[in-house]
Structure 1
Protein backbone atom coordinates (compact mmCIF):
# COMPACT_ATOMS: atom_id res chain seq x y z
CA UNK A 1 0.00 0.00 0.00
CA UNK A 2 1.57 3.27 -1.07
CA UNK A 3 1.25 6.77 0.28
CA UNK A 4 -1.11 9.33 -1.18
CA UNK A 5 0.31 11.07 -4.24
CA UNK A 6 2.98 13.64 -3.43
CA UNK A 7 3.02 12.69 0.26
CA UNK A 8 6.58 12.04 1.47
CA UNK A 9 7.11 8.74 3.26
CA UNK A 10 9.34 10.42 5.84
CA UNK A 11 8.86 13.82 7.46
CA UNK A 12 11.84 15.55 9.01
CA UNK A 13 12.19 18.65 11.15
CA UNK A 14 14.64 20.02 13.71
CA UNK A 15 13.53 21.65 16.95
CA UNK A 16 15.90 22.83 19.70
CA UNK A 17 18.72 20.73 18.29
CA UNK A 18 16.49 17.64 18.11
CA UNK A 19 15.84 15.97 14.75
CA UNK A 20 12.35 14.47 14.59
CA UNK A 21 11.98 11.83 11.87
CA UNK A 22 8.35 10.83 11.38
CA UNK A 23 7.33 7.73 9.44
CA UNK A 24 4.56 8.93 7.15
CA UNK A 25 2.78 5.94 5.64
CA UNK A 26 -0.31 5.98 7.88
CA UNK A 27 -2.52 4.00 5.47
CA UNK A 28 0.08 1.21 5.55
CA UNK A 29 0.56 1.53 9.32
CA UNK A 30 4.02 2.92 8.56
CA UNK A 31 5.29 -0.33 7.10
CA UNK A 32 8.99 -0.11 6.24
CA UNK A 33 8.92 -0.02 2.47
CA UNK A 34 12.22 -0.26 0.61
CA UNK A 35 11.96 3.45 -0.21
CA UNK A 36 11.11 4.49 3.36
CA UNK A 37 14.14 2.65 4.70
CA UNK A 38 16.20 4.46 2.07
CA UNK A 39 14.84 7.82 3.18
CA UNK A 40 15.66 7.01 6.80
CA UNK A 41 19.21 6.09 5.81
CA UNK A 42 19.57 9.36 3.93
CA UNK A 43 18.17 11.30 6.89
CA UNK A 44 20.78 9.83 9.22
CA UNK A 45 23.54 10.50 6.69
CA UNK A 46 22.42 14.14 6.32
CA UNK A 47 22.04 15.03 9.99
CA UNK A 48 23.11 18.59 10.67
CA UNK A 49 26.14 18.82 12.99
CA UNK A 50 24.02 20.97 15.31
CA UNK A 51 21.61 18.06 15.94
CA UNK A 52 22.19 16.51 19.36
CA UNK A 53 19.37 13.95 19.61
CA UNK A 54 17.22 12.08 17.07
CA UNK A 55 13.59 11.05 17.64
CA UNK A 56 11.82 8.49 15.44
CA UNK A 57 8.02 8.77 15.52
CA UNK A 58 5.12 7.66 13.35
CA UNK A 59 2.00 9.28 11.84
CA UNK A 60 -1.40 7.62 11.94
CA UNK A 61 -2.70 4.74 14.06
CA UNK A 62 0.58 2.83 14.41
CA UNK A 63 4.25 3.46 15.07
CA UNK A 64 5.41 0.81 12.58
CA UNK A 65 3.91 -2.51 11.47
CA UNK A 66 7.14 -4.00 10.12
CA UNK A 67 8.20 -4.72 6.57
CA UNK A 68 5.77 -4.08 3.72
CA UNK A 69 4.50 -7.59 2.93
CA UNK A 70 2.78 -6.35 -0.22
CA UNK A 71 6.21 -5.47 -1.59
CA UNK A 72 7.38 -9.02 -0.87
CA UNK A 73 4.46 -10.53 -2.75
CA UNK A 74 4.81 -8.08 -5.64
CA UNK A 75 8.41 -9.18 -6.27
CA UNK A 76 8.93 -12.73 -4.90
CA UNK A 77 12.55 -12.86 -5.93
CA UNK A 78 15.67 -13.88 -3.97
CA UNK A 79 17.68 -10.89 -5.16
CA UNK A 80 14.93 -8.46 -4.15
CA UNK A 81 14.58 -10.10 -0.75
CA UNK A 82 18.34 -9.77 -0.24
CA UNK A 83 18.18 -6.09 -1.18
CA UNK A 84 15.41 -5.46 1.37
CA UNK A 85 17.23 -7.12 4.24
CA UNK A 86 20.57 -5.59 3.31
CA UNK A 87 18.91 -2.17 3.47
CA UNK A 88 17.19 -3.01 6.75
CA UNK A 89 20.53 -4.10 8.21
CA UNK A 90 22.16 -0.89 6.99
CA UNK A 91 19.40 1.13 8.69
CA UNK A 92 19.76 -0.65 12.02
CA UNK A 93 23.53 -0.21 11.90
CA UNK A 94 23.11 3.49 11.04
CA UNK A 95 21.02 3.94 14.18
CA UNK A 96 23.57 2.08 16.28
CA UNK A 97 26.53 3.98 14.81
CA UNK A 98 24.88 7.39 14.88
CA UNK A 99 26.86 9.50 17.37
CA UNK A 100 23.61 11.07 18.60
CA UNK A 101 21.23 9.20 20.91
CA UNK A 102 18.16 7.92 19.05
CA UNK A 103 14.79 7.76 20.83
CA UNK A 104 11.77 5.80 19.60
CA UNK A 105 8.44 7.53 20.28
CA UNK A 106 5.98 4.64 20.18
CA UNK A 107 2.21 4.68 19.86
CA UNK A 108 -0.24 2.08 18.60
CA UNK A 109 1.66 -1.01 17.56
CA UNK A 110 5.30 -1.83 16.85
CA UNK A 111 5.39 -5.24 15.24
CA UNK A 112 8.03 -7.37 13.47
CA UNK A 113 10.58 -4.97 11.94
CA UNK A 114 8.73 -2.17 13.75
CA UNK A 115 9.54 -3.89 17.04
CA UNK A 116 13.09 -4.32 15.72
CA UNK A 117 13.23 -0.57 15.12
CA UNK A 118 12.21 0.11 18.74
CA UNK A 119 14.74 -2.40 20.07
CA UNK A 120 17.45 -0.91 17.86
CA UNK A 121 17.02 2.61 19.20
CA UNK A 122 19.04 3.74 22.21
CA UNK A 123 15.95 4.71 24.20
CA UNK A 124 12.20 4.20 23.76
CA UNK A 125 9.17 5.87 25.28
CA UNK A 126 5.71 4.43 24.64
CA UNK A 127 2.14 5.44 25.27
CA UNK A 128 0.24 3.25 27.71
CA UNK A 129 -1.84 1.67 24.95
CA UNK A 130 1.11 0.61 22.79
CA UNK A 131 1.60 -3.04 21.84
CA UNK A 132 4.72 -4.86 20.73
CA UNK A 133 5.05 -8.17 18.88
CA UNK A 134 7.20 -10.27 16.58
CA UNK A 135 4.35 -12.20 14.92
CA UNK A 136 6.12 -13.49 11.84
CA UNK A 137 5.80 -17.06 13.09
CA UNK A 138 2.02 -16.74 12.61
CA UNK A 139 2.46 -16.32 8.84
CA UNK A 140 5.29 -18.78 8.35
CA UNK A 141 8.05 -16.18 8.52
CA UNK A 142 10.12 -16.34 11.72
CA UNK A 143 11.28 -12.86 12.78
CA UNK A 144 14.98 -13.68 12.51
CA UNK A 145 16.24 -10.16 11.82
CA UNK A 146 14.06 -8.54 14.51
CA UNK A 147 15.52 -11.18 16.84
CA UNK A 148 18.96 -9.59 16.48
CA UNK A 149 17.90 -6.28 18.02
CA UNK A 150 15.33 -7.82 20.36
CA UNK A 151 17.76 -10.31 21.90
CA UNK A 152 20.20 -7.47 22.57
CA UNK A 153 17.56 -5.32 24.24
CA UNK A 154 15.84 -7.88 26.48
CA UNK A 155 16.70 -11.20 28.08
CA UNK A 156 16.83 -14.32 25.91
CA UNK A 157 13.80 -15.99 27.49
CA UNK A 158 11.43 -13.02 26.97
CA UNK A 159 12.79 -12.56 23.45
CA UNK A 160 12.26 -16.22 22.55
CA UNK A 161 8.75 -16.19 23.98
CA UNK A 162 7.84 -13.22 21.78
CA UNK A 163 9.47 -14.85 18.74
CA UNK A 164 8.00 -18.33 19.25
CA UNK A 165 4.44 -17.34 20.15
CA UNK A 166 3.97 -14.17 18.14
CA UNK A 167 1.78 -12.90 20.98
CA UNK A 168 1.78 -9.13 21.60
CA UNK A 169 2.89 -7.65 24.90
CA UNK A 170 1.61 -4.40 26.36
CA UNK A 171 3.66 -1.34 27.19
CA UNK A 172 4.09 -2.18 30.87
CA UNK A 173 5.44 -5.63 30.03
CA UNK A 174 7.71 -4.11 27.40
CA UNK A 175 9.09 -1.78 30.05
CA UNK A 176 9.50 -4.63 32.55
CA UNK A 177 11.62 -6.71 30.18
CA UNK A 178 13.69 -3.74 29.04
CA UNK A 179 12.35 -3.19 25.53
CA UNK A 180 11.30 0.38 26.38
CA UNK A 181 12.29 2.87 29.07
CA UNK A 182 9.08 4.66 29.99
CA UNK A 183 5.30 4.30 29.69
CA UNK A 184 3.28 7.52 29.59
CA UNK A 185 -0.34 8.55 28.92
CA UNK A 186 -1.09 9.03 25.20
CA UNK A 187 -1.53 12.78 25.62
CA UNK A 188 1.90 13.05 27.23
CA UNK A 189 3.87 10.97 24.71
CA UNK A 190 5.34 13.71 22.51
CA UNK A 191 5.96 16.16 25.38
CA UNK A 192 7.69 13.45 27.47
CA UNK A 193 9.90 12.42 24.56
CA UNK A 194 10.87 16.02 23.84
CA UNK A 195 11.61 16.66 27.53
CA UNK A 196 13.89 13.61 27.60
CA UNK A 197 15.56 14.66 24.34
CA UNK A 198 16.11 18.22 25.60
CA UNK A 199 17.63 16.90 28.82
CA UNK A 200 20.13 14.81 26.85
CA UNK A 201 20.78 17.70 24.46
CA UNK A 202 22.16 19.78 27.35
CA UNK A 203 25.11 17.39 27.68
CA UNK A 204 28.37 17.54 25.72
CA UNK A 205 27.74 16.11 22.26
CA UNK A 206 31.37 14.97 22.01
CA UNK A 207 31.15 13.07 25.29
CA UNK A 208 27.76 11.55 24.40
CA UNK A 209 29.13 10.33 21.05
CA UNK A 210 32.17 8.79 22.74
CA UNK A 211 30.03 7.19 25.43
CA UNK A 212 27.47 5.72 23.04
CA UNK A 213 30.16 4.07 20.94
CA UNK A 214 31.89 2.71 24.04
CA UNK A 215 28.66 1.37 25.53
CA UNK A 216 27.84 -0.82 22.57
CA UNK A 217 31.42 -1.83 21.93
CA UNK A 218 32.06 -3.06 25.47
CA UNK A 219 28.83 -5.05 25.41
CA UNK A 220 30.28 -7.16 22.59
CA UNK A 221 33.45 -8.02 24.55
CA UNK A 222 34.41 -10.38 27.35
CA UNK A 223 34.62 -8.92 30.86
CA UNK A 224 38.36 -8.23 31.02
CA UNK A 225 38.52 -6.89 27.47
CA UNK A 226 35.44 -4.74 28.13
CA UNK A 227 37.16 -3.13 31.12
CA UNK A 228 40.32 -2.52 29.10
CA UNK A 229 38.32 -0.91 26.32
CA UNK A 230 36.25 1.21 28.72
CA UNK A 231 39.36 2.29 30.62
CA UNK A 232 40.95 3.47 27.39
CA UNK A 233 37.81 5.44 26.56
CA UNK A 234 37.83 7.04 30.02
CA UNK A 235 41.41 8.17 29.51
CA UNK A 236 40.58 9.68 26.12
CA UNK A 237 37.50 11.29 27.62
CA UNK A 238 39.55 12.92 30.41
CA UNK A 239 41.80 14.46 27.75
CA UNK A 240 38.81 16.07 26.00
CA UNK A 241 38.27 19.81 26.38
CA UNK A 242 34.69 19.22 27.52
CA UNK A 243 35.94 17.05 30.40
CA UNK A 244 38.20 19.90 31.54
CA UNK A 245 35.28 22.31 31.28
CA UNK A 246 32.83 19.98 33.02
CA UNK A 247 35.10 19.26 35.96
CA UNK A 248 36.07 22.92 36.37
CA UNK A 249 32.40 23.94 36.21
CA UNK A 250 31.48 21.33 38.83
CA UNK A 251 34.26 22.44 41.17
CA UNK A 252 33.39 26.09 40.54
CA UNK A 253 29.68 25.48 41.11
CA UNK A 254 28.65 26.86 37.70
CA UNK A 255 27.04 25.55 34.54
CA UNK A 256 29.47 24.12 31.97
CA UNK A 257 29.84 25.72 28.56
CA UNK A 258 30.39 22.80 26.21
CA UNK A 259 32.62 23.17 23.18
CA UNK A 260 31.42 19.94 21.57
Structure 2
Protein backbone atom coordinates (compact mmCIF):
# COMPACT_ATOMS: atom_id res chain seq x y z
CA UNK A 1 0.00 0.00 0.00
CA UNK A 2 1.27 3.48 -0.87
CA UNK A 3 -0.06 5.01 2.32
CA UNK A 4 -1.05 3.42 5.60
CA UNK A 5 -3.65 4.98 7.82
CA UNK A 6 -2.52 5.25 11.41
CA UNK A 7 -4.70 3.33 13.84
CA UNK A 8 -4.89 3.74 17.60
CA UNK A 9 -6.85 0.83 18.91
CA UNK A 10 -8.94 0.05 21.96
CA UNK A 11 -10.48 -2.82 23.86
CA UNK A 12 -14.24 -3.29 23.84
CA UNK A 13 -14.49 -3.42 27.64
CA UNK A 14 -13.11 0.13 27.72
CA UNK A 15 -15.21 1.36 24.82
CA UNK A 16 -17.25 3.91 26.79
CA UNK A 17 -14.16 5.37 28.43
CA UNK A 18 -12.28 5.28 25.15
CA UNK A 19 -14.80 7.16 23.01
CA UNK A 20 -15.73 9.83 25.51
CA UNK A 21 -12.35 10.47 27.12
CA UNK A 22 -11.19 12.60 24.20
CA UNK A 23 -12.85 14.67 21.53
CA UNK A 24 -9.67 14.70 19.48
CA UNK A 25 -7.39 11.69 19.13
CA UNK A 26 -7.77 8.51 21.17
CA UNK A 27 -4.95 6.84 23.05
CA UNK A 28 -3.72 3.39 21.96
CA UNK A 29 -5.52 0.40 23.49
CA UNK A 30 -5.61 -3.30 22.57
CA UNK A 31 -8.35 -5.51 21.15
CA UNK A 32 -8.72 -9.10 19.93
CA UNK A 33 -11.24 -9.14 17.10
CA UNK A 34 -12.02 -5.50 16.32
CA UNK A 35 -9.57 -2.61 16.29
CA UNK A 36 -10.94 0.88 16.65
CA UNK A 37 -9.94 4.48 17.17
CA UNK A 38 -11.41 7.95 17.28
CA UNK A 39 -9.38 10.65 15.56
CA UNK A 40 -11.13 14.01 15.56
CA UNK A 41 -14.54 12.43 15.13
CA UNK A 42 -13.44 9.87 12.52
CA UNK A 43 -14.24 6.49 14.04
CA UNK A 44 -12.06 3.78 12.52
CA UNK A 45 -13.34 0.24 12.94
CA UNK A 46 -11.17 -2.61 11.67
CA UNK A 47 -12.10 -6.29 11.58
CA UNK A 48 -9.04 -8.00 12.97
CA UNK A 49 -9.27 -11.78 12.83
CA UNK A 50 -7.24 -12.78 9.76
CA UNK A 51 -6.81 -16.30 11.17
CA UNK A 52 -10.57 -16.85 10.71
CA UNK A 53 -10.74 -14.78 7.50
CA UNK A 54 -12.36 -12.04 9.58
CA UNK A 55 -15.35 -14.29 10.24
CA UNK A 56 -18.32 -12.54 11.81
CA UNK A 57 -18.49 -14.78 14.85
CA UNK A 58 -20.94 -13.94 17.61
CA UNK A 59 -18.01 -12.57 19.58
CA UNK A 60 -16.99 -10.23 16.78
CA UNK A 61 -20.61 -9.23 16.17
CA UNK A 62 -20.96 -8.36 19.84
CA UNK A 63 -17.81 -6.24 19.72
CA UNK A 64 -19.12 -4.41 16.66
CA UNK A 65 -22.43 -3.82 18.41
CA UNK A 66 -20.67 -2.33 21.42
CA UNK A 67 -18.75 0.06 19.18
CA UNK A 68 -21.70 1.20 17.07
CA UNK A 69 -23.91 1.74 20.12
CA UNK A 70 -21.38 4.29 21.32
CA UNK A 71 -20.75 5.79 17.87
CA UNK A 72 -24.47 6.34 17.35
CA UNK A 73 -24.67 8.34 20.58
CA UNK A 74 -21.43 10.28 20.18
CA UNK A 75 -22.25 13.91 19.40
CA UNK A 76 -18.76 14.53 17.97
CA UNK A 77 -18.79 11.58 15.56
CA UNK A 78 -18.43 12.69 11.94
CA UNK A 79 -17.79 9.50 9.99
CA UNK A 80 -17.08 5.78 10.40
CA UNK A 81 -14.35 4.01 8.43
CA UNK A 82 -14.92 0.25 8.33
CA UNK A 83 -11.99 -1.85 7.11
CA UNK A 84 -10.25 -5.14 7.77
CA UNK A 85 -6.77 -6.37 8.56
CA UNK A 86 -4.99 -8.21 5.77
CA UNK A 87 -5.48 -7.73 2.05
CA UNK A 88 -6.98 -11.04 0.92
CA UNK A 89 -10.26 -11.15 2.83
CA UNK A 90 -12.50 -8.34 4.05
CA UNK A 91 -14.81 -10.87 5.69
CA UNK A 92 -15.79 -14.41 4.75
CA UNK A 93 -19.11 -14.10 6.60
CA UNK A 94 -20.36 -15.98 9.63
CA UNK A 95 -18.14 -18.48 11.40
CA UNK A 96 -19.46 -21.75 9.95
CA UNK A 97 -18.32 -23.69 13.01
CA UNK A 98 -21.13 -21.97 14.90
CA UNK A 99 -23.73 -23.18 12.40
CA UNK A 100 -23.23 -26.95 12.46
CA UNK A 101 -25.45 -29.40 14.34
CA UNK A 102 -22.73 -29.59 16.97
CA UNK A 103 -24.18 -26.34 18.30
CA UNK A 104 -27.85 -26.17 19.36
CA UNK A 105 -30.62 -24.43 17.43
CA UNK A 106 -30.74 -21.76 20.12
CA UNK A 107 -27.17 -20.79 19.23
CA UNK A 108 -28.04 -20.64 15.53
CA UNK A 109 -30.86 -18.27 16.44
CA UNK A 110 -28.44 -16.21 18.50
CA UNK A 111 -25.98 -15.89 15.61
CA UNK A 112 -28.54 -14.42 13.23
CA UNK A 113 -30.39 -12.29 15.78
CA UNK A 114 -27.08 -10.78 16.90
CA UNK A 115 -26.21 -9.98 13.29
CA UNK A 116 -29.62 -8.43 12.71
CA UNK A 117 -29.18 -6.26 15.81
CA UNK A 118 -25.92 -5.01 14.33
CA UNK A 119 -27.67 -4.23 11.03
CA UNK A 120 -30.20 -2.13 12.95
CA UNK A 121 -27.36 -0.15 14.51
CA UNK A 122 -25.87 0.47 11.07
CA UNK A 123 -29.25 1.63 9.77
CA UNK A 124 -29.61 4.00 12.74
CA UNK A 125 -26.07 5.36 12.48
CA UNK A 126 -26.49 9.15 12.06
CA UNK A 127 -23.20 9.67 10.20
CA UNK A 128 -21.80 8.22 6.96
CA UNK A 129 -20.28 4.74 7.16
CA UNK A 130 -17.46 4.27 4.65
CA UNK A 131 -16.23 0.74 3.92
CA UNK A 132 -12.74 0.10 2.58
CA UNK A 133 -12.69 -3.32 0.89
CA UNK A 134 -9.55 -5.06 -0.32
CA UNK A 135 -10.21 -8.74 -0.95
CA UNK A 136 -13.13 -11.13 -0.50
CA UNK A 137 -16.45 -9.97 0.96
CA UNK A 138 -18.62 -13.06 1.17
CA UNK A 139 -22.02 -13.95 2.63
CA UNK A 140 -22.53 -11.89 5.82
CA UNK A 141 -19.33 -10.03 4.90
CA UNK A 142 -21.01 -8.93 1.68
CA UNK A 143 -24.10 -8.06 3.73
CA UNK A 144 -21.97 -5.83 5.95
CA UNK A 145 -20.57 -4.02 2.91
CA UNK A 146 -24.02 -3.55 1.41
CA UNK A 147 -25.19 -1.81 4.58
CA UNK A 148 -22.53 0.89 4.36
CA UNK A 149 -23.22 4.31 2.84
CA UNK A 150 -20.06 4.52 0.73
CA UNK A 151 -17.83 1.64 -0.37
CA UNK A 152 -14.32 2.14 -1.72
CA UNK A 153 -12.93 -1.10 -3.14
CA UNK A 154 -9.69 -2.22 -4.69
CA UNK A 155 -9.58 -4.05 -7.98
CA UNK A 156 -8.72 -7.13 -5.90
CA UNK A 157 -12.09 -7.10 -4.16
CA UNK A 158 -14.82 -9.63 -4.93
CA UNK A 159 -18.34 -9.90 -3.60
CA UNK A 160 -20.41 -13.05 -3.21
CA UNK A 161 -23.24 -14.81 -1.42
CA UNK A 162 -21.97 -18.40 -1.70
CA UNK A 163 -24.11 -20.05 0.95
CA UNK A 164 -26.10 -21.95 -1.68
CA UNK A 165 -22.92 -23.90 -2.45
CA UNK A 166 -23.01 -25.32 1.08
CA UNK A 167 -26.74 -25.96 1.22
CA UNK A 168 -27.44 -22.76 3.15
CA UNK A 169 -29.21 -20.00 1.20
CA UNK A 170 -27.85 -16.53 2.06
CA UNK A 171 -31.25 -15.27 3.18
CA UNK A 172 -30.13 -12.49 5.51
CA UNK A 173 -27.24 -11.33 3.28
CA UNK A 174 -29.76 -11.29 0.43
CA UNK A 175 -31.88 -8.75 2.28
CA UNK A 176 -29.06 -6.19 2.15
CA UNK A 177 -27.72 -7.15 -1.27
CA UNK A 178 -31.11 -7.12 -3.02
CA UNK A 179 -31.71 -3.62 -1.67
CA UNK A 180 -28.40 -2.39 -3.07
CA UNK A 181 -28.28 -3.83 -6.60
CA UNK A 182 -30.74 -4.82 -9.34
CA UNK A 183 -32.71 -7.98 -8.62
CA UNK A 184 -31.36 -9.79 -11.68
CA UNK A 185 -27.79 -9.51 -10.41
CA UNK A 186 -28.80 -10.24 -6.82
CA UNK A 187 -30.53 -13.40 -8.06
CA UNK A 188 -27.39 -14.38 -9.99
CA UNK A 189 -25.27 -14.01 -6.87
CA UNK A 190 -27.71 -15.76 -4.54
CA UNK A 191 -28.73 -18.65 -6.83
CA UNK A 192 -25.30 -19.48 -8.24
CA UNK A 193 -23.02 -18.53 -5.35
CA UNK A 194 -20.60 -17.10 -7.92
CA UNK A 195 -18.66 -13.93 -7.07
CA UNK A 196 -18.75 -10.64 -8.91
CA UNK A 197 -15.71 -8.43 -9.41
CA UNK A 198 -15.23 -4.97 -7.99
CA UNK A 199 -15.92 -3.47 -11.41
CA UNK A 200 -19.17 -5.43 -11.71
CA UNK A 201 -20.12 -4.34 -8.20
CA UNK A 202 -19.42 -0.72 -9.15
CA UNK A 203 -21.66 -0.91 -12.22
CA UNK A 204 -24.42 -2.49 -10.15
CA UNK A 205 -24.22 0.07 -7.34
CA UNK A 206 -22.86 -2.16 -4.58
CA UNK A 207 -19.67 -0.09 -4.35
CA UNK A 208 -18.98 3.60 -4.91
CA UNK A 209 -15.39 3.68 -6.15
CA UNK A 210 -12.87 1.13 -7.47
CA UNK A 211 -9.15 1.85 -7.52
CA UNK A 212 -5.93 -0.16 -7.82
CA UNK A 213 -4.91 -1.77 -4.53
CA UNK A 214 -1.90 0.51 -4.16
CA UNK A 215 -4.22 3.55 -4.26
CA UNK A 216 -6.90 2.22 -1.92
CA UNK A 217 -5.67 3.90 1.26
CA UNK A 218 -5.22 7.25 -0.44
CA UNK A 219 -8.61 7.15 -2.16
CA UNK A 220 -10.34 6.20 1.08
CA UNK A 221 -8.56 8.95 2.97
CA UNK A 222 -9.69 11.51 0.39
CA UNK A 223 -13.31 10.40 0.85
CA UNK A 224 -13.00 10.58 4.64
CA UNK A 225 -11.34 13.99 4.52
CA UNK A 226 -14.05 15.35 2.24
CA UNK A 227 -16.73 14.23 4.71
CA UNK A 228 -14.76 15.58 7.67
CA UNK A 229 -14.72 19.08 6.16
CA UNK A 230 -18.52 19.30 5.94
CA UNK A 231 -20.91 20.74 8.50
CA UNK A 232 -21.72 18.04 11.05
CA UNK A 233 -25.37 19.02 11.72
CA UNK A 234 -26.05 19.36 8.00
CA UNK A 235 -24.51 15.96 7.32
CA UNK A 236 -26.61 14.32 10.04
CA UNK A 237 -29.76 16.10 8.88
CA UNK A 238 -29.08 15.04 5.30
CA UNK A 239 -28.44 11.37 6.02
CA UNK A 240 -31.53 11.10 8.22
CA UNK A 241 -33.80 12.53 5.53
CA UNK A 242 -32.14 10.66 2.65
CA UNK A 243 -32.98 7.31 4.23
CA UNK A 244 -36.38 8.34 5.57
CA UNK A 245 -37.65 9.62 2.23
CA UNK A 246 -37.07 6.25 0.57
CA UNK A 247 -40.10 4.93 2.46
CA UNK A 248 -42.33 7.78 1.24
CA UNK A 249 -44.41 8.29 -1.86
CA UNK A 250 -42.40 10.43 -4.28
CA UNK A 251 -44.58 13.53 -3.96
CA UNK A 252 -44.69 13.16 -0.19
CA UNK A 253 -40.90 12.97 -0.25
CA UNK A 254 -40.62 16.13 -2.33
CA UNK A 255 -42.94 18.04 0.03
CA UNK A 256 -41.04 16.83 3.09
CA UNK A 257 -37.80 17.69 1.30
CA UNK A 258 -39.05 21.28 0.97
CA UNK A 259 -39.51 21.50 4.73
CA UNK A 260 -36.11 19.97 5.38
CA UNK A 261 -34.34 22.44 3.07
CA UNK A 262 -36.13 25.43 4.57
CA UNK A 263 -35.17 24.22 8.04
CA UNK A 264 -31.61 23.60 6.84
CA UNK A 265 -31.38 27.23 5.76
CA UNK A 266 -32.04 28.35 9.31
CA UNK A 267 -28.81 26.73 10.50
CA UNK A 268 -25.83 29.01 11.03
CA UNK A 269 -23.63 26.65 9.05
CA UNK A 270 -25.91 26.89 6.02
CA UNK A 271 -25.74 30.68 6.05
CA UNK A 272 -21.98 30.53 6.53
CA UNK A 273 -21.70 28.20 3.52
CA UNK A 274 -23.75 30.53 1.32
CA UNK A 275 -21.81 33.56 2.52
CA UNK A 276 -18.47 31.87 1.82
CA UNK A 277 -19.58 31.09 -1.74
CA UNK A 278 -20.41 34.76 -2.38
CA UNK A 279 -17.14 35.86 -0.80
CA UNK A 280 -15.16 33.19 -2.72
CA UNK A 281 -13.57 31.60 0.35
CA UNK A 282 -13.72 28.33 2.21
CA UNK A 283 -16.56 28.07 4.75
CA UNK A 284 -15.76 28.09 8.45
CA UNK A 285 -18.38 25.80 9.92
CA UNK A 286 -19.13 25.95 13.63
CA UNK A 287 -21.15 22.70 13.67
CA UNK A 288 -24.20 24.36 15.16
User: Which deviations, in whole Å up to 9, do the C-alpha atoms of 1:15-36 show, x marking residues without a partner?
Assistant: 3532211101101110101111
**Which residue is 1:3 aligned to?**
none
1:186 to 1:74, Cα distance in 2 relative to 1, 3 A = farther
Q: 1:52 aligns with which of 78, 94, 119?
A: 78
Which segments of 5 or more consecutive residues in structure 1 lack a partner in the other structure? Answer: 1-5
Output the TM-score relative to the length of structure 1.
0.92
**How is 1:65-104 mapped onto 2 (pairs within 5 angstroms)?**
65-73=92-100, 76-104=103-131
Q: Please say if 1:36 is aligned against 2:63.
A: no
The answer (yes or no) to whether the contact 1:16–1:198 under 8 Å persists in 2 is no
Separation of aligned partners in 2, 1:128 and 1:240: 41
The answer (yes or no) to whether the contact 1:103–1:121 under 8 Å persists in 2 is yes
How far residue 232 of structure 1 moved from its aligned partner, in angstroms, is 2.4
**Which residue is 1:123 aligned to?**
150
SS at match of 2:153: strand
The answer (yes or no) to whether the contact 2:98–2:107 under 8 Å persists in 1 is no
Report the RMSD for the aligned CA atoms in angstroms.
Answer: 1.6
Q: 2:211 aligns with which of 178, 181, 184?
A: 184
**Which residue is 1:194 aligned to?**
221
Which segments of 5 or more consecutive residues in structure 2 lack a partner in the other structure? Answer: 1-29
How many residues align structurally? 255
Q: 1:149 aligns with which of 145, 168, 176?
A: 176
SS at match of 2:137: strand
